Chains A and B, each alone.
Chain A
Amino acid sequence: MNNDVLKTFEILHQRAAQIRQKEGRERKIVIQVGSATCENAAGARDVLDEFRKHVAASGRDDIVLHQTGCTGRCSCEPIVGVFVPGQMPIKYQDVDRQRVHEIFTRHVLGGQPVLNYVLDGPVQGIQRHEVLYCASERCGWEARATCGQALEEKLRRRGISADEIRVAQTSCFGACGANQVGTCSHVLVRPDKTLYRIENDADLDEIIERHLIGGKVVERLAVPGKTVGRKFFEIYGDVAFFNRQTRVVLRHNGVLDPSSIAEYFHYRGFQALATVLSKGDPKWVIDEITRSKLRGRGGGGYPTGQKWAMGAAAEDETRYLICNADEGDPGAFMDRSMLESDPLNVIEGMIIGGFAIGAHQGFFYVRAEYPLAIERIETAIAQCREWGLLGKNILGSGFDFDLEIRLGAGAFVCGEETALIHSIEGERGQPRIRPPYPTERGLWGKPTVINNVETFANVSAVINYGADWFARIGTEKSGGTKVFALAGKVRHTGLVEVPMGTTLREVVFGIGGGVAGGRELKAIQTGGPAGGCIPAKWLDTAIDFDTLTQAGSIMGSGGMIVLDETDCMVDIAQYFMSFSQDESCGKCTPCREGTTRMLEILNRITGGQGTEADLDTLGRLARLVKKSSLCGLGRAAPNPVLSTLEHFREEYLAHVVEKRCPAKKCKALVRYEIDPEKCIGCTACARNCPVECIAGQRKETHVIDQARCIKCGRCFEVCRFDAVKRT
């Protein structure tokens, strides 16, 4: 144990505490505004600007503005939090300049929350207290299943209504030590931020009597310290979208200011690094990571501990570490959110990784399309250097490590590790044959370990909260959680973090609120262009690397697109194939030619020219490309085709045999006609037709000239009498 490291850490910790104390935020009213690419796109900059003006105009010095990253509740952004000391933290949704004015005058100055704008609201009122109980299914305390119910009953029996004290479920607080699993549960009392450990019914009674009624904290049962996710749930625990999630990686998203290292320290920042460096044993780190069952979050699912062990065992002493932040999957934005909202956590994971494998230089390979993420990483790296957390002799341990940012330039294939290495070397991003694997011969021929952003973001949690705890969250073969970017035709879009092994149903319906517009779910697309479409009937599939592969898709980096009945599966396959074909680097023939030919066939099918024989050719070609391509891009590119061919063959058949698109999406296969019964001759369709192919006099039935119709669908959209039929 190197005590100097802990001493240095303690000095830094105090320095951070002093900075925070000077701000005195605990005693002030805090207005928190999200700031990430998505928040800004929704108008968060205007909101911040407006609040600034209001605060200045009010002349009050007890109101502070606090910027955070994003929580991942995309469809409600911009989100603003108003935290008055001692009161329930209130979050507002869809805030614009007008709402800022109301929130500021009525809530911040007047003390009355604006109930209409509350996140997930409107709500009827704000409760005096809220008790969140752990409903995580994994630890198995028998009484826990009834904990919420028992609480509810006990409160109501005492005449306390739900308007006064609300009871809600949440997931793992990470407060169970190894010896407590299954013997206790935890409840969090808001707004007092008190976390209690309960072992029996009597404990519950005591909390109700003494705390909820008597107003005194029951010290005997209170759990001190900063357990995982606690800070997050203290603020966001009342929101249904969040409290069914398990926030480990995203525990600080929307909580801390991503540009402040002092704040990161406050939330247990760099404690894992201090632990690791004070022990001074790389093997211990690798063992912990191995025991945690952490697997590569970029999509491959390779055990991280094993990869690190290989890097550490390499003969060459010059080794490199790379963070793959080239999040290229269309429809995935987990990494961006992590980098924009909690960049120091990723950096801490990288320093620990560097120590474990014996590297002194690390690289951040970031997409150029993420300017805000790049800016935040640059700030974070500069702060780390200034605080002695990067560079020579980190925390006085004698370990040297530094980081450099390298920008991608818009090539999807650079997510593949050998292509990524070539790109950092300043070459065209083309992959090469493996082996040798990068852990043996990577960047500039030296042993190199490459991990994804989310993998590194998990490391501090593994060290701080224990490998056993981490392993327990997930499945037998895969520990921890996975973050998904839930988008498409789902009611609540955003970032969802759930334990490995959670079902697709829980994610899409439980957390996502089901399909938007009340339509029928058709499929769930995971893994981007390398993944497949999982049909609705497999909703109960538990999410894991292996189960998703069995279902014909892949975990991928975490994109999850919900498709409904109006989506044509052939069209989706064509969409992904056009992506892969365009992104194929052209080095190997199966991928370069195979994707082109597959795209041609798919174009033919969606264009109404396909034959049944095309389906066989397509399937054969897909299997061939999968088998013979050089790198992951080519080997995975056929997945969308193969999975849709398997699960939605009848849709392909409708296209080629009946020349019909059941989802009415493929332009060439739909036909617009005017129903003479319903047409009243309002001329709206004729006036809007871009090619003037609709004929008819006023108050007379109109007719579409099929030969000239370009099937743009304009007439269908503008007809207010349902007279235009799409078949």
Chain B
Amino acid sequence: MSTTPDVHQQVEAQSREILGEDIVAYIEQCHADPEPSGKLIAVLHRVQAKFGYLAPAHLDAVSQLLRVPAAKVSGVASFYHFFRLTPRGRHVINLCLGTACYVKGADQIAQKLRDELGITFGETSPDGMFSLEATRCLGTCGLAPVMIVDADVHAEVTPDQVPLILERYIREARKERA
């Protein structure tokens, strides 16, 4: 089936709208590179930084504008752990499961988080408050076990501290609402 120029333009305009000016400008800059498709991962990083995750519509738009097959875009997006294909909660909890953290009891922290939140890794709590994620190693092994909530680093965490840490964010949200 051939696509008429009108439809093509329409799809492209739609893609531009979905990604927004800044990302479209970056993709155009990529076309000046001798290997524009090599910039796919860099583009996806930017999209995720802007929207928080990669929705199917984002992937299609990137495919259109960077002129890379949609299958490849979704293949790359799903291959790398760093890319998220679902939206995240208000606060993102990142528990380090590196070796140093593991031998210093990160598995107990993991269990406590699962118990407290009622979700497992890769999931978001039903109220949209927390997303629970695990990371391989944050490279701060000297402070193990380490847990990061958004940008706050909590070092040398014990299972007992977990509810207190979570409570802090819940209280904040409550205060905002009031």
Query: Taking beta carbons and an 8 Å cutoff, which residues of A are in contact with B?
Result: 37-38, 40-42, 74-75, 77, 327-333, 336-337, 368-370, 406-412, 423-429, 444, 485, 487-489, 493-494, 525, 528, 559, 561, 563, 567, 572, 575-576, 579, 585, 690, 712
Contacts and interface: CB of A to CB of B under 8 A. Distances in A.
Given A41-B155, A410-B81, A425-B35, A487 B41 contact: no
Contacts of A41: 140, 143, 146, 153, 155
A423 B41 contact: yes
B99 A561 contact: yes
Nearest to B43: A426
Contacts of B42: 406-407
Contacts of B21: none
Contacts of B155: 41-42
Contacts of B41: 406-409, 423, 426
A585 B111 CA distance: 27
24 contacts: A38-B143, A41-B155, A42-B155, A329-B137, A331-B98, A331-B99, A331-B141, A369-B82, A369-B138, A406-B41, A406-B42, A410-B80, A410-B81, A424-B38, A426-B41, A428-B75, A487-B141, A488-B99, A493-B100, A493-B144, A494-B142, A559-B99, A563-B103, A712-B111
B102 interface: yes
A38 B79 contact: no
A411 B141 CA distance: 20
A369 B135 contact: yes
A410 B44 contact: no
A694 to B, nearest CB: 18
Given A409-B81, A561-B100, A330 B75 contact: no
B145 to A, nearest CB: 11
Nearest to A529: B99
B76 A428 contact: yes
A1 to B, nearest CB: 35
Interface string B40-56: 11101100000000000
Contacts of B153: 40-41
Interface in B63-92: 68, 72, 75-76, 79-83
A580 B21 CA distance: 40
Contact of B104 (A77, A406, A488): A488
Ranked 9 nearest A-B pairs via Cβ: A74-B142, A409-B80, A333-B139, A410-B82, A331-B99, A330-B98, A410-B81, A426-B40, A487-B141
Nearest to B111: A712
Interface size class of B (residues with CB under 8 A): 35 or more
B120 interface: no
B39 interface: yes
Contacts of B27: none
A665 to B, nearest CB: 9
A331 B111 CA distance: 21
Given A330-B137, A579-B136, A368 B45 contact: yes
Contacts of B111: 712
A327 B115 CA distance: 32
B18 to A, nearest CB: 20
B97 interface: yes
Contacts of A585: 79
A585 B78 CA distance: 12
B125 interface: no
Nearest to A425: B38
A528 B99 contact: yes
A426 to B, nearest CB: 4
Interface in B97-115: 97-100, 102-104, 111, 115
Given A409-B44, A425-B37, A487-B100, A327 B80 contact: no
B99 A333 contact: no
Nearest to B34: A444
Contacts of B102: 330, 575
Among B38, B83, B102, B142, the most chain A Cβ lie within 10 Å of the Cβ of B142
Interface string B2-19: 000000000000000000
B142 A38 contact: yes
A333 B140 contact: yes
A142 to B, nearest CB: 39
B142 A561 contact: no
A711 to B, nearest CB: 11
Given A409-B83, A411-B79, A563-B103, A38 B140 contact: yes
B139 A37 contact: yes
Given A368-B45, A410-B136, 14 more contacts: A37-B138, A330-B97, A332-B137, A369-B135, A406-B38, A409-B44, A423-B41, A426-B39, A426-B76, A427-B76, A488-B100, A493-B142, A528-B99, A585-B79
A357 B86 CA distance: 44
